[in-house]
Amino acid sequence: MHILIIGAAGMIGRKLTQHLLETGRLADKPISSIDLVDVITPETPQSTGAVITCRQADLSDPATAPALVESRPDVIFHLAAIVSGEAEADFDKGYRINLDGTRALFDAIRTQHDTRSYRPRVVFASSIAVVGAPLPYPIPDDFHTTPLTSYGTQKAICELLLADYTRRGIFDGVGIRLPTICIRPGKPNKAASGFFSNILREPLVGQEAILPVPDTIRHWHASPRSAVGFMIHAATMDTDAIGPRRNLSMPGVSATVGEQIEALRRVAGDSAVRLIRREPDPTIIAMCEGWAPGFEATRAKSLGFHAESNFEEIIRAHIEDELEGVQ
Amino acid sequence: MHILIIGAAGMIGRKLTQHLLETGRLADKPISSIDLVDVITPETPQSTGAVITCRQADLSDPATAPALVESRPDVIFHLAAIVSGEAEADFDKGYRINLDGTRALFDAIRTQHDTRSYRPRVVFASSIAVVGAPLPYPIPDDFHTTPLTSYGTQKAICELLLADYTRRGIFDGVGIRLPTICIRPGKPNKAASGFFSNILREPLVGQEAILPVPDTIRHWHASPRSAVGFMIHAATMDTDAIGPRRNLSMPGVSATVGEQIEALRRVAGDSAVRLIRREPDPTIIAMCEGWAPGFEATRAKSLGFHAESNFEEIIRAHIEDELEGVQ
């Protein structure tokens, strides 16, 4: 089993790589090699089995995609993207990488398909940003994609391409709409959605965190561990069961900020909760009022995808995976 | 008022041009000039007012779009497309013209927008092919787009681009999802959906027509006259009322083939109906079982778009517009 991960240097890419190296197998077959690719050279993880190749490459360079699929990986994880804020600030760069880069990848696969009967499994990381307010709660699986950002537009377009290329037999694609990942490990970042992780991660290690929105804001989350689980399941599941609608809203936990904080209190006590400082930020409030409150995810659940069932589990997953079980 | 029609040689393009020349005005302003563009040079219509320019151009040629918008038309009607069957048979051509051609047009407008504050109204002819079976009846406005053809995929992608470019203020776009146009004037053609028009148009002039599907097939229709009405309304309406969801399923008439035939009987009698010969075609039956049975079109109707209210009106519109009122 030969695997390619594009966007391997990101948080999910690194955790996915780690998981693959630990299990050593995918779809009951031993993993012989993993190609790790990103715009910055991914760190080389320790491997006792699979041959690891790390390379720096930009998917918007026309030479990149053909070179990546030349070795015909059995499974391709496509996680690379310019993030929401940057795609909004830089119109050309967002379209060039998120849309043209993805299409270049799909077309490079098509060339190998046409000449050498190649047909890999392709797992595409889509996003809940494909929907846009006003949104019902919960959002049904058949709700239309009317994104309110260029990032969401680019993801929605790639979903359509993935479904069409799959329908034509060029590859076997599964698009997974990831919830907002929480708790993101690492340091607080400046992403507008960063506070969802910050207000849990920082207090768990005795640090203060700022909450810029009211407790009533409801949003849709899954742990990094669940995100890796979605990827693995999408790579190994029987895709005949999906049918032509290849893009699936992943399961997750819908919670208000208030419910998040109460989960933190149950896990880590009042002293942790007291480290959350409320500093309302009208810009962030305005943005997150348009974000998805939660999805039915009926199809994904019936196809075997699963996430946490409540916010305490999300916090405990973080403690187990990032704090060595100690809090 | 300076108008550009891309795809002007097609049936809707010619009727739209005729309508504009007859009224001489759009949005209460006199029409000074109309540029007619298609892959084959459009016929020059008679004009006593507006200056008509006809040109042959291929939107997939990178030089085309910048040249078309150089004169900064106030309204652009984009009707050009490779049709469904051809886009399915020729993957590259379909994507090159239906997707890349449209994107080239939008980006040419963006260049004029960035350099010269240009911001035209853009009316984009989308299609009910953006949805794909299994479909509810009626299909709600917020139903997802999961096309089952490359043509439908390309139209759905262009809808997303249109909404994003509009949201960013580059142009003022309205995407209109046209029902299957019925009764198409002219000779029977080989389009799989051609029989919907054939079984009415041919018997109305004493000719036999072949019906390849059962009477129970339900589909979604509007007259050519309504299609032109949609275009004019989309070009002149107050777009502030639409909001960011810029692609609208147009109203129409949902009817089974049996209901179509009964409408023909009421308008033209048993002798016309007897000219319909049933010759079931399994390929066409399989295709049209996946087609849209009808839409709610609630938003479009509330925004002032209107179509016929029953199939008799569709037949009478054909008699008035194509047969000089005589049947």
Q: Which residues pair with A159 in a beta bridge?
A: none
Nearest CA in chain A to B100: A100
Query: Hey, do B2-178+223-249 and B194-220+253-294+308-322 end up sharing a CATH topology, with the first three levels equal?
Result: no
Just give the CATH number of A195-220+253-295+308-322.
Answer: 3.90.25.10
Residue A144 has its nearest CB partner, among B142, B161, B167, at B142
> Which chain A residue shows the shortest CA-CA distance from B89?
A168
Residue B153: which of A142, A143, A160 has the nearest Cβ?
Answer: A160
Residues of B contacting chain A (CB within 8 angstroms): 91, 132, 141-148, 150, 153, 156-157, 160-161, 163-164, 167-168, 244-245
Q: Do B160 and A147 touch (CB under 8 A)?
A: yes
Q: Closest-CA residue in chain B for A247? A: B146
Q: Cα–Cα distance between A123 and A236 in angstroms, integer?
A: 10
Minimum Cα–Cα distance from A170: chain B residue: B91
Residue A5, CB-side half-sphere exposure with 13 Å CA sphere: 29
Which residues of chain A does B244 touch, with a Cβ-Cβ cutoff of 8 Å? 132, 146, 148
Query: Is residue A209 classed as helix, strand or coil in its secondary structure?
Result: strand
Q: Closest partner residue to B142 among A143, A150, A156, by Cβ?
A: A143
Return the closest-CA partner of residue B149 out of B218, B98, B221: B98
> Residue A305: what pLDDT?
98
**Mind telling me how many Å the CA of A286 is from chain B's nearest CA?**
16
Residues B258-317: tens digit of each pLDDT: 999 999 999 999 999 999 999 999 999 988 888 999 999 999 999 999 999 999 999 999
The predicted structure's pLDDT at residue A249: 98
Q: How many Å is the maximal CA-CA distance in chain B?
A: 63
CB-neighbour burial class of residue A256 (10 A; exposed 0-12, middle 13-18, buried 19+): middle
DSSP per residue, A234-267: HHHS-GGGT-S--EEEPP-EEEEHHHHHHHHHHH
Helices (H), chain A: 11-23, 64-69, 84-89, 91-94, 102-116, 150-167, 195-204, 224-236, 257-273, 282-288, 298-302, 311-322
* Contact assessment for residue B138 and residue B294, using Cβ atoms and an 8 Å cutoff: yes
Check whether B142 has a pLDDT greater than 90.
Answer: yes
Distance from CA of A259 to the nearest CA of B (A): 30
Judge: A91–B168 Cβ closer than 8 Å, yes or no: yes
Question: Residues of B with CB below 8 A from A244's CB?
Answer: 132, 146, 148
Q: How many interchain CB pairs under 8 A, A with B? A: 54
- What is the number of other CB atoms lying within 10 angstroms of the CB of residue B285? 13
Q: How far apart are CA B74 and CA B50, in angstroms?
A: 14
Alpha-carbon gap: B179 to the closest alpha carbon of chain A (Å): 19
Tokens 């148009």 locate to B201
Residue B191 binned pLDDT confidence (cut-offs 50, 70, 90): confident
Contact: A142, B143; criterion CB under 8 Å: yes
CA dihedral B131, B137, B142, B143 (to 10 degrees): -40
Give the best residue of B95, B102, B142 to mutate against chain A (max A CB count within 10 A): B142
Contact B167 A148 (CB under 8 A): yes
Handedness of CA A262, A268, A269, A275 (dihedral sign): negative
For residues A287, A293, A297, A300, the Cα torsion angle rounded to the nearest 10 degrees is 40
With CB atoms and an 8 Å threshold, state whether B147 touches A157: no
Residues sharing a CB contact under 8 Å with residue A21, sequence separation 6 or more, in sequence order: A31, A34, A45, A46, A47, A49, A50
Give the right CATH number for A2-180+221-249 from 3.90.25.10, 3.40.190.100, 3.40.50.720, 3.60.10.10.
3.40.50.720
Chain position carrying tokens 């040079």 = B41
Helix (H, G, I), strand (E, B) or coil at A174: strand
Tokens 């760190």 -> residue: A43
Q: What is the torsional sign of CA A252, A254, A255, A256?
A: positive
Cα→Cα distances A240→A78, A167, A174, A325, B312, Å: 21, 11, 11, 39, 44
* Res. B190: pLDDT tops 80: no
Fold of the domain built from segment(s) B2-178+223-249:
Rossmann fold (3.40.50)
Residues of B in contact with A157 (CB under 8 A): 157, 160-161
CA pair distance A314, A201, nearest whole angstrom: 11
Residues of B whose CB is below 8 A from A143: 142, 144
- Give residue A187's pLDDT: 85
Catalytic residues of A: 151
Contacts of B245 in chain A (CB under 8 A): 146
Residue ranges of chain A with per-residue pLDDT less than 50? none
As a whole number of angstroms, the distance between CA A228 and CA A19 comes to: 8
Report the half-sphere exposure of A210 (CA within 13 A, side-chain side). 11
pLDDT per residue as tens digits for the range A63-118: 999 999 999 999 999 999 998 889 999 999 999 999 999 999 999 999 999 999 99
Closest CA in chain B for residue A142: B144
Domain extent listing, chain A: 2-180+221-249, 195-220+253-295+308-322
Judged by CB atoms closer than 8 Å, whether chains meet at B150 and A144 is answered as: no
Q: Report the share of chain B in percent with pLDDT over 70.
A: 99
- pLDDT of B189 > 90? The answer is no
Query: What SS3 state is found at A321?
Result: helix
Residues of B in contact with A150 (CB under 8 A): 164, 168
- pLDDT tier, B78 (very low <50, low <70, confident <90, very high otherwise): very high
Is residue B139's pLDDT more than 80?
yes
Residue A189's pLDDT is: 73
**Do the strands A29-30 and A25-26 form a parallel or antiparallel pair, or are they unpaired?**
antiparallel
DSSP state of A63: T
pLDDT band at B112 (very low <50, low <70, confident <90, very high): very high
- Kindly determine whether residue B144 and residue A142, on different chains, have CB atoms separated by under 8 Å: yes
Query: What residue type is assigned to position A154 of the chain?
Result: Q
A151-192 pLDDT, tens digit per residue, is 999 999 999 999 999 999 999 999 999 999 999 998 877 778
Residues from chain B contacting residue A167 (CB–CB below 8 Å) = 148
CA dihedral A122, A106, B129, B283 (to 10 degrees): -80
Which of B146, B162, B242 to mutate to test binding with chain A, by most A CBs within 10 Å of its CB?
A: B146
Assign 3-class secondary structure to chain B. Answer: CEEEEECCCCHHHHHHHHHHHHHCEECCEECCEEEEEECCCCCCCCCCCCEEEEEECCCCCCCHHHHHHCCCCCEEEECCCCCHHHHHHCHHHHHHHHHHHHHHHHHHHHHHHHHHCCCCEEEEEEEHHHCCCCCCCCECCCECCCCCCHHHHHHHHHHHHHHHHHHCCCCEEEEEEECEECCCCCCCCCCCCHHHHHHHHHHHCCCCEEECCCCCCEEEEECHHHHHHHHHHHHHCCHHHCCCCCEEECCCEEEEHHHHHHHHHHHHHHHHHCCEEECCCHHHHHHHCCCCCCECCHHHHHCCCCCCCCHHHHHHHHHHHHCCCCC
Long-range contacts from A46-51, C-beta under 8 angstroms, 24+ separation: A46/A21, A47/A21, A49/A21, A49/A24, A50/A3, A50/A20, A50/A21, A50/A24
Give the pLDDT confidence of B148-180 residue by residue, as tens digits: 999 999 999 999 999 999 999 999 999 999 999
B160/A156 Cβ within 8 A? yes
Contacts of B145 in chain A (CB under 8 A): 144-145, 160
pLDDT for B47 = 86
Partners of residue B165 in chain A, C-beta under 8 Å: none
Of B148, B160, B168, the CB nearest to A167: B148
Residue contact A157–B161, C-beta within 8 A: yes
Give the per-residue pLDDT at A54: 97
CA-based nearest residue in chain B for residue A162:
B153
Domain covering B194-220+253-294+308-322, topology = UDP-galactose 4-epimerase; domain 1 (3.90.25)
What residue of B is the nearest CA neighbor of A145?
B144
C-alpha distance from B283 to closest chain A C-alpha (Å): 18
Give me the mean pLDDT over the B98-119 stretch. 97
Q: Do A157 and B160 touch (CB under 8 A)?
A: yes
